[in-house]
Amino acid sequence: MTRSAKKGPYVDAKLLVKIERGGEESKDTPIKTWARASMIAPEFIGHTFEVHNGRHFIKVYVTEDMVGHRLGEFAATRTFRGHRRKD
Amino acid sequence: MPRILGVDVPNDKAVWVALTYVYGIGTTSSDKILNDLGINRTTRARDLSEEELARIAAFIEKNFVVEGQLRRQVTANIGRLRDIGSYRGLRHRRSLPVRGQRTRCNARSRKGPKKTIANRKIARK
């Protein structure tokens, strides 16, 4: 079921604060975060995040197209590389 | 056979069914179209007058995205998912189910026909 529109999108409050406080020049320093469920807000564009995938932080550079998706969508949590070839 | 919007040639079914032969028109939108235009939904498609056909075509053109344009829109949406490197894009690239379905078994629509692995050990008793 989709989230109620009344609540608005879920954007991690801390991330917004960090972006606001950092200003324009902070775009170069990646923001480490575990907030995989956080929606990508328009304010995020141009920033780099380090999204935790359970083990490592995956660098995610946010572009305009990503707005409305969640941070976790860009940091895969699984490492399946195909089945063993036998011959 | 009447033609609606170029290539689509619905046959001698009731109009509301015939309209669903247009890509992008299902039963709901079909019903809505005929309702809004005040055309009896059960008349046979071949009995439609030229004027009615024109009205249906105009209405669809105005209110719906159909056929080629819709197909292009869908591919563009998928392309976007691929390009931004999202999980869903990745599933599309590997042609696996996109919406979290299981893949241990089934998922044949996405994976295509079974590829049997030869020499698989059969569980012994």
DSSP state, residue A70:
B
Confidence bin at B119 (pLDDT 50/70/90): low
Chain B CB contacts of A74 under 8 Å are 84-87
**Same domain assignment for residues B9 and B57:** yes
**Same domain assignment for residues B58 and B81:** no
* The pLDDT of residue A34: 93
| Domain stops at, among B42, B63, B84 | B63
pLDDT digits (tens, 9 = 90+) for B7-66: 777 778 888 888 888 889 999 999 999 999 988 888 888 888 888 888 888 898 889 888
Residue whose entry in the numeric block shows the structure tokens 């949590």:
A77
B94 to chain A, any CB pair closer than 8 A? The answer is: no
* B79: helix, strand or coil: helix
Bridge partners of residue A22, in order along the sequence: none
* Residue A74 to residue B85, Cβ atoms within 8 A: yes
Contact by Cβ (8 Å): B71, B61: no
**Same domain assignment for residues B46 and B74:** no
The mean of the pLDDT values for chain A is 87
For residue B115, what is the domain's CATH number? Answer: 4.10.910.10
* Residue B80 to residue A63, Cβ atoms within 8 A: no
What percent of chain B has pLDDT above 90? 31
* B78: helix, strand or coil: helix
**Same domain assignment for residues B74 and B51:** no
**Same domain assignment for residues B35 and B72:** no
- The residues of A whose Cβ lies within 8 A of any Cβ of B are 63, 65-66, 69, 72-74, 76, 86
Contact by Cβ (8 Å): A30, A61: no
**Same domain assignment for residues B13 and B57:** yes
**Same domain assignment for residues B28 and B57:** yes
| Domain stops at, among B31, B47, B63 | B63
- For B87, the closest of A63, A73, A86 (CB atoms) is A73
Chain A CB contacts of B103 under 8 Å are none
* The pLDDT of residue A58: 92
Question: What is the number of H-type helices and E-type strands within chain B?
Answer: 6, 0
* Residue A76 to residue B119, Cβ atoms within 8 A: no
**Same domain assignment for residues B55 and B18:** yes
DSSP state, residue B85:
T
B90 to chain A, any CB pair closer than 8 A? The answer is: yes
Sheet containing strand A31-33, edge to edge, reads A31-33, A48-52, A57-61
- For A65, the closest of B80, B90, B119 (CB atoms) is B80
**Same domain assignment for residues B11 and B59:** yes
For residue B29, what is the domain's CATH number? Answer: 1.10.8.50
Instruction: Give how far Cα A13 sits from Cα of A9, A61, B4, B41, B116, Å.
Output: 11, 19, 52, 53, 50
Confidence bin at A26 (pLDDT 50/70/90): low
Four-CA torsion B89, B91, B92, B98, nearest 10 degrees: -100
Phi, psi angles (nearest 5°) of residue B74: -65, -45
| Domain stops at, among B38, B63, B88 | B63
Q: ipTM above 0.90?
A: no
Size of interface A-B (CB pairs under 8 A): 19
Provide the domain limits for residue B100: 68-124
**Same domain assignment for residues B26 and B51:** yes
Residue that wins the pLDDT comparison between A5 and A23: A5
Residue whose entry in the numeric block shows the structure tokens 């699984």:
A78
Phi, psi angles (nearest 5°) of residue B59: -65, -45
Strand ranges, E, within A15-71: 31-33, 48-52, 57-61
Query: Which residue, among B58, B66, B54, B72, has the nearest Cα to B25 in the 3D structure?
Result: B66
B96 to chain A, any CB pair closer than 8 A? The answer is: no
Q: How far apart are CA B26 and CA B20, in angstroms?
A: 5
